[in-house]
Amino acid sequence: MDVLAEANRMIARGENVISLAVGQPAAPAPQAARDAARLMLDHGRVAYTDALGRGDLRERIARHYQDAYGQSVASERIMVTTGSSAGFNLAFLAAFDPGDRIAIAAPGYPAYRNILKALGLVPVEHEVDASTGYVFTADHLRHLHESGPVAGVLVASPANPTGTMTPRDELRRLVEYADAAGIRFISDEIYHGLTYGQAEETALAFSDSPLVVNSFSKYYCMTGWRIGWLVLPPSLVRAAERIGQSLYISAPEMSQVAATAVFDSRDELDAVRTGYIRNRDLLAARLPGLGYRDIAPIDGAFYAYARIPEGAIGSTAFAKSILERCHVAITPGTDFDQRRGEGFVRLSYACDHASLGEALDRMQALLRG
């Protein structure tokens, strides 16, 4: 976000900055979502809903699990949240007590670590790297748990910042080990719908115990609408509902109405995804020629995570130089991995294809002369 802030200041000065820094689609929310919101505004009344969310949206999300994964999920287990950010808060508060140790991968989304610490929980990070395809495995979880018991584990697939997916069999092993060891499994599935090659799988395919966090921000192109959902084990629904009543009252009703409609926009959304595939292919083809190394498998989401070119003094200084000299914003790896992140950067390819090509041309002029 600091990189984005500086890029925005440059843009305000009239400088032509291309941002590969922030993980949000350049495409607008689908027409059906906007039409539904406009109709509600015309009606005039936007109100609180039940803390768990509108019934029609919860039922539509439940149908999505049947359509997308062949899984029967009761709508009573679904809670609509103010984006996935609120979903993580609610999941952590409902499932854990202060002092509990929660396993996560490094590199990983920095908000995991920050939210856990803010809630009095203890993040326990396990390093993943190119040698293991950046995948957090059941063996990693077993090692952490045997070294010092963990109460929970959070796994993202596709992952941020790497874009790496957990293979289906490995996800099954993770869920089964967690169940057997009494570890709460939280599955971050917010990039589902944005996979290239292997199909994504929900953790709910292997057990009813996981807490699943999802969002309308990424595949559905609704970042600023702040709308997401949780699938909860039956034993945690009432706890999450009561916490949500106190913290949020409810997710914004107009966003809930728009989200219900967006499920009918598959053609529009898949066209956006096709654009990401073009961008992904371009990035994968050109990054090695620019000197980037140890590139994580770009299985899904819209990120590439890579070691900075040899000779660069660190990702923070490297990203600052790229922004100042190329007018291209990229994200230093420091927040994603506190120990090794200064050697890496994340590049988002959620922009339009022409902008990505121009950004790569600018970096090539600087890095390769």
Nearest residue to 211 via CA among 151, 168, 148: 151
Split at pLDDT 50, 70, 90, the class of 369 is low
The phi and psi torsions of 325 (rounded to 5 degrees) equal: -95, -25
Beta bridge partners of 187: 155, 212
CATH architecture of 2-29+267-367: Alpha-Beta Complex (3.90)
Which residue intervals of 163-265 are DSSP H helices?
168-181, 234-247, 253-262
Average of pLDDT values for 200-211?
98
CA distance 186 to 239: 16
Predicted confidence (pLDDT) per residue in 61-95, tens digit = 999 999 999 999 999 999 999 999 999 999 999 99
CA distance 359 to 22: 14
How does the average pLDDT of the chain come out, rounded?
Answer: 96
Q: What is the CATH T-level fold of the domain 33-264, as seen in this structure? A: Aspartate Aminotransferase; domain 2 (3.40.640)
Predicted confidence (pLDDT) per residue in 274-285, tens digit = 999 999 999 999
Side chain identity at residue 16, one-letter code? N
CA distance 217 to 111: 16
Predicted confidence (pLDDT) per residue in 161-185, tens digit = 999 999 999 999 999 999 999 999 9
Residue ranges per structural domain of the chain: 2-29+267-367, 33-264
- Residues 129-144 as b or e (16 or more Cβ within 10 Å = b): beeebbbbbbebbeeb
Q: Which residue has the higher pLDDT, 24 or 368?
A: 24
pLDDT at 197: 86
Predicted confidence (pLDDT) per residue in 346-368, tens digit = 999 999 999 999 999 999 999 98
Contact 10, 327 (CB under 8 A): yes
pLDDT at 255: 98
Q: What angle do CA 64, 66, 69 make, to 5 degrees?
A: 90
Predicted confidence (pLDDT) per residue in 83-134, tens digit = 999 999 999 999 999 999 999 999 999 999 999 999 999 999 999 998 888 9
Element (H, E) at 318: helix 315-326
CA distance 159 to 357: 24
Element (H, E) at 79: strand 78-81
Helices first, then strands: H and E counts in the chain: 12, 12
pLDDT at 5: 84
Contact 199, 237 (CB under 8 A): no
Q: Is 314 left (phi over 0), alpha (psi -120 to 50) or beta?
A: left
- Calculate the CA dihedral of residues 303, 306, 311, 313 and round it to 10 degrees: 70
Element (H, E) at 230: strand 228-231
CA distance 28 to 24: 10
The phi and psi torsions of 18 (rounded to 5 degrees) equal: -105, 125
Rg of the chain, C-alpha, whole Å: 20
